[in-house]
Structure 1
Amino acid sequence: MTRSVRGTRRPSRTSRTLRVTGAGAAALLALSACSSSSDAHTDSAADSAGSSSSASAEVSGQVTVFAAASLKESFTALGETFEKQHPGTRVTFNFAGSDSLAASITSGAPADVFASASPKTMATVTDAGAAAGTPSTFVRNQLQIATLPGNPDKISSLKDLTASGLKVVLCDRTVPCGAAAQKALEGGGLELTPVSYEQDVKAALTKVELKEADAAVVYRTDVKAAGDKVAGVDFPESAEAVNDYPITLLKESPNADAGKAFIELVKSAEGQKELTEAGFRTP
């Protein structure tokens, strides 16, 4: 009897081809997955590096700040802090009377930030559409009488400034410190004719420092900054003439990112500490 031996059938060429093709496809899929993962990792790393690079490049270059003269000392210090916090930046200031700064901005002077000594002068800029957004008050300031060292004329009130023979200097009425002084005088029912009207508060204070005037109505921050060059006298009418200081990024800012960063520093705890130590009041 003949037995039929049934062995393992050899796979056909087609079957072998299918299996090889399947294996190849699996290998390709695996390679593709690895490649995709690698590409994704590379892209992620590139995005991360790009993001990091973008962040570091976000604040760089020159920042131009137009600021009221009374902010000179505190803003100069904050400018140095800003440059340390953001290597590669440089802060340039233009300190002057707020009214003249506002006029320059509306005439097209290039600047990133404007810090005014009164809402009225800031309104000149906002009304002209030159501000980017709504300005915000970052500090307040109050008037004080600056006298010669030791107060030899024994000035103790705003009324004392009306005494005959006393040389008194005021800021121009168009400047915030001058407008505030006029408001205080009117509040006290007083009239005063100064020997001169100065274009900003620093100029008024300098007259006393040089002994060209016996007294000047300025901000308490300026009296404090002058140290022993002058003496300060408080007067109650000043409470009715406190100035709010608004700050804003300008619409045509050449360096908006850096301008925003400077404003953030001014409003930060560190910035507020610098300003209050200079004699400013918090809003």
Structure 2
Amino acid sequence: MAALVTGCGKPSTPPAGEGSTSQGQEKAALFAYVGANLKDPVSELAQAYEQKTGVKVELTFNNSGALLNQLETMKKGDIYMPGGMPFIEAAQKKGYIEEVAGPIAYHTPVIITPKGNPAKISKVQDLARSGLKLVIPDKEATAIGKTVFKTFDKLGITESVEKNAPTYVESPAKVVAAILMGQGDAGIVEYSNTYK
């Protein structure tokens, strides 16, 4: 699964290197829709960009599906950076994207468990065992959810996994929180969520 950078509509600020403005005129800000799991690195990049160019970067973070909804509602922005290609393709079909550059990051799905792994989960197929309580990102709203359900489909375990995960959460961060609070036997997140 890859995260990509795309350009949305007409830019509201001059490209990098063209930061000069007429006297007394403020530089326009860049507005970016960014996948929740990219918050730390993108915030750092935005800060560096602001320091170098003097152009303010406004960031909004959410799951990929919510970002697409925000883009559709606001119909403006400069950068759209969801967690996966299906969301880029949907935005392209609707005419919101002029250019695609990337990928800029790869998300690797991993299984997380409570400390000690009480359910003894050691492989993806174990998630289909009857009686487990799973916490999984929404398969329609998150890139990681779409990715893991493709894997479940390939392994023929989707129906069993769905029985073990009667509801889905809107972000990998919420999966981590639920597992830390003892609300599940296992969850699936991107590898980057495991070192925090």
Distance 2:55 2:132 in 1: 48
Distance 2:87 2:113 in 1: 28
Stretches of structure 2 lacking an aligned partner (at least 5 in a row): 1-16
Aligned twin of 1:183 = 150
CA 90–213 in structure 1, closer or farther in 2 if over 3 Å, else same: farther
CA 133–60 in structure 1, closer or farther in 2 if over 3 Å, else same: same
Q: Return the offset for 1:149.
A: 2.8
Aligned twin of 2:169 = 198
Out of 96, 104, 111, the residue aligned to residue 138 of structure 1 is 104
Out of 63, 67, 75, the residue aligned to residue 30 of structure 2 is 63
Stretches of structure 1 lacking an aligned partner (at least 5 in a row): 1-53, 227-283
SS in 2 for 1:89: coil
Give a deviation string over 1:12-43, Cα, whole Å, max 9, x none: xxxxxxxxxxxxxxxxxxxxxxxxxxxxxxxx
Pairing 1:154-169 to 2, within 5 Å after superposition:
154-169=120-135
- Percentage identity across paired residues of the two chains: 20
Out of 90, 93, 97, the residue aligned to residue 63 of structure 2 is 97
Distance 1:131 1:102 in 2: 11
Q: Return the offset for 1:63.
A: 2.2
CA 210–72 in structure 1, closer or farther in 2 if over 3 Å, else same: farther
Give a deviation string over 1:61-95, Cα, whole Å, max 9, x none: 43221011111122122222222223x33322211
Aligned twin of 2:185 = 214
Distance 2:61 2:39 in 1: 6
Q: Return the offset for 1:55.
A: 4.0
Q: Please state if 1:108 is matched with 2:71.
A: no
Q: Return the offset for 1:56.
A: 4.2
Instruction: Look up the equivalent residue of 1:196 and give its one-letter code.
Output: T
CA 56–150 in structure 1, closer or farther in 2 if over 3 Å, else same: same
Distance 1:178 1:94 in 2: 20
Q: CA RMSD for the aligned pairs?
A: 2.3
Q: How many residues align?
A: 171
Distance 1:82 1:100 in 2: 25
Instruction: Look up the equivalent residue of 1:205 and give its one-letter code.
Output: V
Aligned twin of 2:10 = none
Instruction: Look up the equivalent residue of 2:183 and give its one-letter code.
Output: E
Distance 2:113 2:27 in 1: 43
Mapped contact 2:107–2:192 kept (Cα < 8 A): yes
TM-score by length of 2: 0.76
Mapped contact 2:75–2:96 kept (Cα < 8 A): no
SS in 2 for 1:57: coil
Aligned twin of 1:9 = none
Aligned twin of 1:281 = none
Aligned twin of 2:93 = 127
Instruction: Look up the equivalent residue of 1:221 and give its one-letter code.
Output: S
CA 215–109 in structure 1, closer or farther in 2 if over 3 Å, else same: farther
Q: Return the offset for 1:195.
A: 3.9
Higher relative helix content:
1
Distance 1:173 1:128 in 2: 21
Give a deviation string over 1:202-225, Cα, whole Å, max 9, x none: 22222113222221111112223x
